[in-house]
Amino acid sequence: MNKDVERYLKQATTGLWGHKRKEIKEELAAHIQDKVLVHQLAGFSEAEASQRALQELGKPKAIRQGMFQLYSLPYLGFAGIFLAFLTWVLIPRFAALDPLMVRPSEACLALDLRVVGKYHNCLSFEPWLSEAFLREGLEPQGVTITKQEANFVSSYLTLNIPEPAQSLRLSMYSGLSSPEQNRPLPGYLELSNFIEQIAEQTSVQVTGLDNFSLLFNGVSLTFNASYSKQIAEDFYYHYSFHITNDFTRPPLKEGEDFSQGWLYSVTSLNDYQKYSKPQMFTVSAHEDGVYFLFTALDKKHKIILKDNNLANSEVYFADSLAESKKGKVSLRVPKTPWHLVTEFSNPPTGGETILLRFTGKISKANLNYGYELVLPDEVTLEPN
């Protein structure tokens, strides 16, 4: 991806956070790439093709404003103002509890509001780093940290690392400080967003499970061991990758996409099994037989369809089917052999997992990527 495209994607998604920002970036990147190919086929050089693709997509500001309105401001209705007040009261207290912000269930609504757009429900864990935690962890290592308030929702931190000298700029959520009172609150940053921002500017290593650490530019941040399991889950959620006690991720190579880098770093099934012991079910695909795996009624359990090559696996379908045992669903079935894999953060006991086998009626074939299936009313259950 060339620098202009990178800059465009950044500008189009500034002010968005975490998972949603990543999704929108990827969606736009796919659009741009497709258009670049079209223009290249028409005879333009790669640079010209990129320029044209970006021009046709329009000003990044227009996309940013459209998305920002959707994923942030409209949430601040009456309830939002009330929650904003709660947040204003609660955040400094939680920040004082522990530098690594772990979402407590009592406060999940208020804490959700810290990202303004609400992408995660209270069931999911989202580790947050506070500005105080970064200062406590990095300043003793000689790093000076300066903060620049940008607006009432975001601010910038600059980490000035002495040796080797480098300044890393991070945008972070500044908390809902009140402009009238001119009272800046501590800033917060999603762990995954923090790592991604660092990785965009320098190489970063992530090691350990019991003592989760980030290493970049000769400095390190070590996290409270009691959060390791949750961090591991967060990693799996964001990067489809299980961190392990002995795993060290080599620095990203030039031009390597961060999440892809993680995905491809999984070299064997053993890496997967070390931590969460995923439950594996393998079935052979037949054109006339469809295999679904249903898990316990817990939204944390994701059903993931992967192809046979785990190292190059791609998630085709990640919605929980737990609540759609009957009715119409769409399922992407690659035409190559495949198997179903489901991962559990807490492996369920035997009785909660069933393998559901049925013959699905293919109601519509020849979609771009698979079949649309109609589940029959009556199904045969076959425990694995």
Partner 1 sequence: MSDNSLLRGNLDLILLSILEDSPKYGLEIISEANIRTDGYFSFKEGSLYPALHRLEKAKLVKAEFAPSDSGGPRRRYYYLTEAGKKQLEQKRAEFETFNSKVRALWEM
Q: Which residues of this protein are in contact with partner 1, per CB under 8 A? A: 12, 23-24, 26-31, 33-35, 37, 56-60, 62-63, 65-67, 69-71, 314-319, 330, 332, 364, 367-369
Q: Which is nearer to partner 1, 149 or 200 (CB)?
A: 200
CB of 12 to partner 1, least distance (A): 8
Write the burial class of residue 125 (CB in 10 Å: 0-12 exposed, 13-18 middle, 19+ buried): middle
Segment (H or E) for 131: helix 131-138
CB of 35 to partner 1, least distance (A): 7
Alpha carbon distance 201, 196 (integer Å): 9
Q: Which is nearer to partner 1, 23 or 382 (CB)?
A: 23
Phi, psi for 72 (deg, rounded to 5):
-145, -80
Q: Which is nearer to partner 1, 36 or 134 (CB)?
A: 36
Which amino acid would we find at residue 37? L
Alpha carbon distance 264, 240 (integer Å): 10
Q: Which is nearer to partner 1, 101 or 263 (CB)?
A: 263
Residues 6+ apart with CB under 8 A from 186: 91, 92, 95, 130, 131, 132, 175
Segment (H or E) for 68: helix 60-71
Q: Which structure tokens are listed for 357?
A: 């086998």
Q: Which is nearer to partner 1, 310 or 355 (CB)?
A: 310
Helices (H) and strands (E) in the chain, counts: 11, 18
Query: Contact 345/276 with Cβ under 8 angstroms?
Result: yes
CB of 325 to partner 1, least distance (A): 16
CB of 8 to partner 1, least distance (A): 10
CB of 184 to partner 1, least distance (A): 30
Q: Which is nearer to partner 1, 79 or 318 (CB)?
A: 318
CB of 147 to partner 1, least distance (A): 31
Q: Which is nearer to partner 1, 298 or 307 (CB)?
A: 307
CB of 258 to partner 1, least distance (A): 12
Q: Give the distance from CA 192 to its chain's centroid.
A: 7
